[in-house]
Amino acid sequence: GIINKKKESDLADHSIEKYSIKANSSNQEVVLLSGGNQQKLAIAKVLATDPKVVILCEPTRGVDVNGKVEIYTIMNQLLEKKKAVILISSEIPEILGMSDRIMVIYKGRMVYEAKNIDLKQEDIMAYATGGYQNE
């Protein structure tokens, strides 16, 4: 493995621009970025490989409202490109707002799976806490 520094630099610059990552330069240390920009950078790294399926686990945890909107925009752009996005989140409003299909896991087992049609937060919480039995 030899790293192509020019290609690496070009990819970093492209990612900063494409995903609106607020950084002083592409050489800025990641730990000096805000939480939202760190998340967008992590997503940009994954997307640089042009995957068909993207798994995002708690992508907006600790991110401010503007950062969340930007991450949701990235997710929607992936869907427009016919990519599959698997969102794992403990934020029920986020799940309801961003998902067309929902699975709920309780004690390591899937206890609910269906399209997101008229599903309420209370229903998800009930399944997630063992309140509903498998139907």
One pLDDT digit (tens) per residue for the chain, 135 residues: 688 989 989 999 999 999 999 999 888 999 999 888 999 999 999 999 999 999 999 999 988 898 899 999 999 999 999 999 999 999 999 999 999 999 999 999 999 998 877 788 999 999 999 887 655
Residue 126: half-sphere exposure toward Cβ, Cα within 13 Å: 9
Q: What share of residues in the chain are helix, strand, coil (percent, to 5)?
A: 45, 15, 40
Query: What was the pLDDT predicted at 62?
Result: 87
In whole angstroms, give the CA distance from residue 75 to residue 80. 9
Using CB atoms within 10 Å of the CB of residue 40, give its burial: 0 to 12 exposed, 13 to 18 middle, 19+ buried: buried
For residue 133, the model assigns a pLDDT of 61
Q: What is the per-residue pLDDT for 92?
A: 93
